[in-house]
Structure formats: structure tokens, C-alpha cells
Structure 1
Amino acid sequence: MTTDSIEQLFVNGLEELYYTEQQLIDALETLAEQTNDEAASQAFSEHRTETQEHVNRLEQVFEQIGEEPQAKDEQVVDALIDEHEQFAQENDGDVLDRYNIEVGQKTEHYEIAAYGNLTSFAGKLGYDEAADLLEETLREEESALDELSQAGEQFDEQQIASD
């Protein structure tokens, strides 16, 4: 990919996140259905609803900067989903529950980095309303990571107590 401006880098990042969020809607539904741990399953369900709103916000950002919403394949999210599918075929029970929490955390870290960068780019490029929308999503991603981290800690404590 050849990019000769921050503006192009910004649009490219938006396209990748647009793809990512669309892929995660289905992935989060799978995680919620597959996870027996109630706290983690609920976190996945709630974040799925938020993720649908993230797609809507990204469409608003595209509109504000005069671009058509377009999804660009993102290898990172594809790899995470593929890795999860393979792991889920080979594992179940508590091991799969804990892995689902882990993959959720990995995804949130990726999204936080991506939204953080795009929020900064939007501000520097003078897209103040877009920056506000991206910042709102960034905060929700951070909150989702916190919720998953707490679910992971509770899960680990329960596993240690039952051993």
C-alpha cells in the first residue's frame, strides 16, 4: 500500500475499521453463544449491540469527510477470527470459555489502538465532529476491554478455587 498523506492514511484506517466492526458483529454473536461463563457471554452480547452502533458511527464519519463508506479487508481481524474458529473446533468447556475471553481482549486492544490513531488523525486534519465520534467509540472499546478483563479475572479465580 502506497500512501502519500495523513489524509489517505486516515481514510485507509477508517475502511479497515469499517470492515473490522462488520466482521466483529458476527464474531461477537458466536462468542456469546459459545461461552458458558455468564459474565463473559453477557459482555460479548452487550458489545455486539455497541459494535452495531460503531458501524453506524463510522458511516457518519465517512459522510462528514465526504467519502463513501467502504470496507477494506483487514488481515489482523481475519487472522483472529480464523484462529478462534480453529481453536473452537478442537476445544470446549472451561478452556474454550477462557480462550474466548482472551481473544475478545486481543480484539479490544487492536480496536483501541486503531481508534486512538484515527481520533488523533481526525483532530489534526480538522475533522472535529469525526474526532468526537471516534473518541466516543474509543471510550466504549476501553470499557469493553475493562469488562472482559474483569470477567477473565473472575473466571480465573473460580478455576483456582475449584482446583
Structure 2
Amino acid sequence: MENARKPDENYDPSFENEIKPVRIKYDGATGLRDLLLDEIKSMYYIEKMLIKSFPKMIKHACNYELIEAITIHAEDTKKQIVRLEETFLTLEEPAILHRSEAIECMLQEIDDIVEVTKFGMVRDAGIILALQKIEHYEIATYSILSTYAENLKAKNIQLLMDESLNEEKVAEMRLAKIANTIQFYADETRL
């Protein structure tokens, strides 16, 4: 065992716990493109998660207009997935999903609402609330992705993001209109 390596006197085993993964630091036009690509991957994941979640939302919704709004948005989401795939092709990058904890939390909120409400208007109100949060997230993301694409002179990508952005805005307005139709006549002394 003479050749066995002796432990370094300065070795600190706690150092291994301090090792952190290197995070990419975006900078310049290349960095903006990489940031755009990273967010496209995230939106790709979000739209795919939503497609899987819409049938469950429809199953638990009571209001016909809400069911119709979710159904229409599911069709729009399929188109948005195709646009994101076109964006990957334009960027000459593989279509990769980038996990989004934000959407997972928002979808969990819908599950939680379903669990704590009875089938009916209150559940519909909760589903609308949670969906509105998702719509606002998507509107914010598609809006800034369009701006980044414009800054990068990627007109094709900008148009694709704008088209998805407009669909998200319509979905948001549709949900807001439905929310306004849900009325309760509560005893004012309890408010």
C-alpha cells in the first residue's frame, strides 16, 4: 500500500456539497438568441402540458360556455405547438421540452380547486381564475418572445409568436366574459 494516495491534508469533504452546476450566462445577440430558444423550449413544455390537462378541465366544468372556451383553446394550443415546432426549425434547433415548474404549479392549482369545490358555479369560477393566471403567463411570455425575435431580426419567428399571442389574448377575453356571467346573490351581512 506504499503507492496508495494519501489524503490531502487540506481536503475538506464539505467542499463537495458546495459544488454547483455552472449556469449559462447569456450576453449579446447570441445570448439573446439563446434566451429566446430557452423560453421557446419552456413554452413548448407548457403547451404540451396544457393539451394533456384540457380534457380534465372540461370534465370538471359545468358552464357550457366555459367548456366551449376550453375546447376552443385546446384547438388553438395545438396550433401553438405547431408554431413552436416551426420556430425550432427556423432556429435550426431540435424541438426539446424545457420543464416549467410555473405551469406545473398553476395546473396543480386547478386540481386543488376541483378537490375543494362541488361541481357547479363555484368550481367553474375557480377554474376560470386558474386559467386566467395561465393565460396571463402565456401572454407575457409570447409578448416578450415576439419582442426578442424582432430585436434579433427574426421576422418569421416574430410573426409566429404574435399569432400565438393573439390567440392567448382572445382566450383571456373569453374567460373574462364568462367570469362576468357568474353571479351569486350572497347575504351582504356575511361579506
TM over 0.5: yes
Q: How many residues are paired up?
A: 160
- Residues in 1 aligned to 2:173 and 2:88: alpha-carbon distance in whole angstroms: 28
Q: Deviations over 1:52-82 (max 9, x none)?
A: 1100010001101111111100011000111
Specify the alignment match of 1:2 in structure 2: 24
Match of 2:139 among 88, 95, 112: 112
Gapped regions of structure 1 (runs ≥ 5):
none
- Residues in 2 aligned to 1:124 and 1:23: alpha-carbon distance in whole angstroms: 29
* SS of equivalent to 1:70: coil
Higher relative contact order (CA 8 A, sep 6+): 1
Q: Deviations over 1:86-126 (max 9, x none)?
A: 22122222221110011111110000000001011111112
Query: For residues 22-33 of structure 1, what are the structure 2 equivalents within 5 Å?
Result: 22-33=48-59
Specify the alignment match of 2:103 in structure 1: 77
Counterpart amino acid of residue 101 in structure 1? I
Counterpart amino acid of residue 2 in structure 1? I
CA contact (8 A) 2:69 2:174 kept: yes
Q: TM-score, length-normalised on structure 1?
A: 0.93
Specify the alignment match of 1:138 in structure 2: 165
- Residues in 1 aligned to 2:91 and 2:148: alpha-carbon distance in whole angstroms: 12
Specify the alignment match of 1:86 in structure 2: 112
Query: For residues 6-25 of structure 1, what are the structure 2 equivalents within 5 Å?
Result: 6-25=32-51
Specify the alignment match of 1:66 in structure 2: 92
Counterpart amino acid of residue 149 in structure 1? A
* SS of equivalent to 1:67: coil
| Shift >3 Å, 4+ stretches | none
Counterpart amino acid of residue 140 in structure 1? E
* SS of equivalent to 1:71: coil
Q: TM-score, length-normalised on structure 2?
A: 0.80
- Residues in 2 aligned to 1:28 and 1:128: alpha-carbon distance in whole angstroms: 31
More helix by share: 1
CA contact (8 A) 1:3 1:9 kept: no
Percent of matched pairs sharing the same residue: 24
